[in-house]
Amino acid sequence: MFTKLPDYTALIDQPWGAFEPYFSELLAAELTAENVEAWLTQWTQLSDVVMEIGARLNITVSRNTADAEAERRYHQYVGEVSPHARKAANALKEKFLASGLEPAGFEIPLRNMRADAAIFRVENLPLQVEEEKLRTQYDKTSGVQTFLWEGVETTIAGLAKLLQNPDRSAREGAWRAAHQRILADRETLNTLWKQFLALRRQMAANAGFANYRDYAWQTRYRFDYAPDDCLTFHDAIEKTFVPAAKILRERQAKHLKIGTTRPWDLVVDPYTDQALVPFRSEEEFIQRTQQIFDQLDPTLAHYFRDMREHDMLDLLSRPNKRQGGYCSTLPASQRPFIFMNAVGVNDNVRTLIHEAGHAFHAFEKFALPYGQQRMNTAEFNEVASMAMELLTFPYWERDKGGYYTQAEAARAKIDHLEKIITFMPYMAVVDAFQHWVYTHEDEAADPAACDATWGALWDRFMGAEDWSGLEDFKVTGWHRKLHIFTYPFYYVEYGMAQIGAIQIYANMLQNQPAALNAYKHALALGGTAALPELYAAAGARFAFTPDTVGAAADLLMREIDQLEAML
């Protein structure tokens, strides 16, 4: 019925004219109950091709931020194809909405389409192109940051390994060297920030919103909670997780026989001078992770093996590689790609298993027939990843295929659970900062005001850490959180999802097979259910009140106490 689409490889690096006929054919077609399935299938396949090309070009830039040709190709796509594709996709949404057709499983996708259509503005397309270019500039700025320590050029990601040194003076020296290098880009990042903020203010105004927060709420499909719910969440974290984090910091100081925990004291193992070494090569890292998934579930193990066989993993840190980690979906190929910066520390284990959770979510959703049904918001996407971290806990021991001896595994799990606890106050800082920025946009245009606000929020939620004499490093912490620059308002989702993941972990402790089956069932629903329904399917509640949040904090503290008794 519709023209057969070429493989994505035939369209990569092509101008918009190569894509336009396929969109025009869909727009021109009469849409009826009889042909809606074929029409949606063609739209899905076309969208998959466009998305995969963008994802692959972005991955290439991420793998080498110094590759000028890769950056040119990506910017060509962003500037010449993506805006037209967005405009054409909006026209298809309007056509579909106007048809009045409501296929089965489309209640949530239709809700999202209506939101997209309501806020779409042609004049925002060039602004989105400029925003994407600024993201690349931010990635390049952070990607080239290296520092010299003991004569060795080290990436910022490599600092994590240096901070495991039992020699406190060495940890401090490495921390200061790395953060001095980051601070050297202060003015560059302040300039980028002003440009980001101006673009976002204009996009919100163009769409008829008073501020970017209200605009972002709709672009992120936040229909199941309101801004005030986030503020309630912040308060709940302050009452429950902040005291728990303070206890952990005091324990760390006691174990290390120091007065207070400084920023360079936060990740060193307090139980032994021997740092955890989960792997010594990328191949060993991949193989041990495969063995864990082999133990956990045959379907998930198959997914990870498929990624290995098709070169969908780039795990080790190196110069000019973008910082951070992510899982990118390649929908036309029906495979995900995992990118990260491993340096051989325990936190790398968490990152790979986390991103594998995202990958498993993608694989499960590929079974849904239409792209619109595969779209989840981050509040549940992150449940997929964070719950996977905890679901693999029983297999971290080496005799079960994992990374560690039994005692080492207990230390690794304590480290992981403590990081969840200390992350929650940090998440509140990031989210509260963004609420302030996008409801005080005139003030936020001044980086000095941003510094002051970040510092005040840090003191509110992170006061258990001693930053005396490090004020410049503390107040510029927002520079080091890439989401604030490149993915605005994409952070509270991590906290919400963590509460969901902890509930799944609680279920696992009672009945592991049932918890895993519920988790997989929820992943397979894709975007066909609302957030409360997805959480319920996974065996959790979508709630962020003090009782729910407090129960999560209490469980983690009990688990830490039990693991410590094993040492």
Q: Which of 103, 119, 136 is the last residue of a domain?
A: 103
Residue 531 in domain? yes
Domain that holds residue 51: 8-103
335: which strand partners? Answer: 330
pLDDT score at 275 = 81
- Judge whether residue 567 has pLDDT over 90: no
Question: Once rounded to an integer, what is the mean pLDDT over residues 432-448?
Answer: 98
391 part of a folded domain: yes
Model-level pTM greater than 0.85? Answer: yes
Residue 312: DSSP 8-state: -
pLDDT band at 542 (very low <50, low <70, confident <90, very high): very high
Q: What integer pLDDT is reported at residue 116 of this predicted model? A: 92
Is 527 contained in some domain?
A: yes
Q: Is the pLDDT of residue 130 over 90?
A: yes
Q: Give the pLDDT of residue 516.
A: 98
Mean pLDDT of 13-17: 97
Residues contacting residue 10 through CB under 8 Å, at least 6 positions apart: none
Please report the pLDDT score of residue 143 as a whole number: 83
Mean per-residue pLDDT, 516-524:
98
pLDDT band at 36 (very low <50, low <70, confident <90, very high): very high
Q: In which band, very low, low, confident or very high, does the pLDDT at 272 lie, cut at 50, 70 and 90?
A: confident
Residue 323 belongs to some domain of the structure: yes
In our burial notation (b when 16+ CB lie closer than 10 A, e otherwise), range 233-254 reads: bbebbbebbbebbbebbeebbe
Looking at the predicted structure, is the pLDDT value of residue 273 above 90? no
pLDDT, average across residues 46-52: 98
- Domain of 354, CATH number, reads 1.10.1370.40
Domain count, the chain: 2
pLDDT band at 397 (very low <50, low <70, confident <90, very high): very high
pLDDT at 157 over 90: no
Average pLDDT over residues 372-392: 97
Q: Give the per-residue pLDDT at 40.
A: 97
pLDDT at 324: 85
Q: What does the mean pLDDT of the chain come to? A: 95
pLDDT value at position 285? 97
Of the three residues 103, 132, 157, the one that is the final residue of a domain is 103
pLDDT at position 441 is 96
Q: What are 292's two structure tokens?
A: 């864990």
- pLDDT for the residue 215: 97
Enter the tokens of residue 338: 């995992």
Q: How many CB atoms lie within 10 A of CB 13?
A: 13
Residue 325 lies in a domain: yes
Residue 313 pairs in a beta bridge with: 338
Confidence of residue 271 (pLDDT cuts 50, 70, 90): confident
Q: Where are the alpha helices (DSSP H) in 100-185?
A: 107-119, 125-143, 159-162, 168-183
- Region 313-342: mean pLDDT is 95
Instruction: Return the pLDDT at 427.
Output: 98
Residue-level pLDDT at 144 = 86
Whether 562 shows a pLDDT value over 90: the answer reads yes
- Has residue 164 been placed in a domain? no
pLDDT tens track for 335-369: 999 999 999 988 999 999 999 999 999 999 999 99
The 3-state DSSP composition of the chain as helix, strand, coil percent (nearest 5) reads 70, 5, 25
Is there a domain that residue 114 lies in?
Answer: no
CB contact at 8 A, 379 and 496: yes
Residue partners of 100: CB distance under 8 A and separation at least 6: none
Q: Show the CA angle centred on residue 440, arms to residues 439 and 443, nearest 5°.
A: 165
HEC string of 263-296 equals: HHHCCCCCCCCCCCCCCCCHHHHHHHHHHHHHHH
Q: Residue 204 falls within a domain, yes or no?
A: no
Residue 231 reports pLDDT greater than 90? yes
Are 507 and 514 in contact, with CB atoms under 8 Å apart? yes
Q: How far apart are CA 465 and CA 258, in angstroms?
A: 13
What's the CA angle centered on 252, arms 246 and 258, to 5 degrees? 110
pLDDT at 510 over 90: yes
Q: Which of 63, 86, 103 is the last residue of a domain?
A: 103
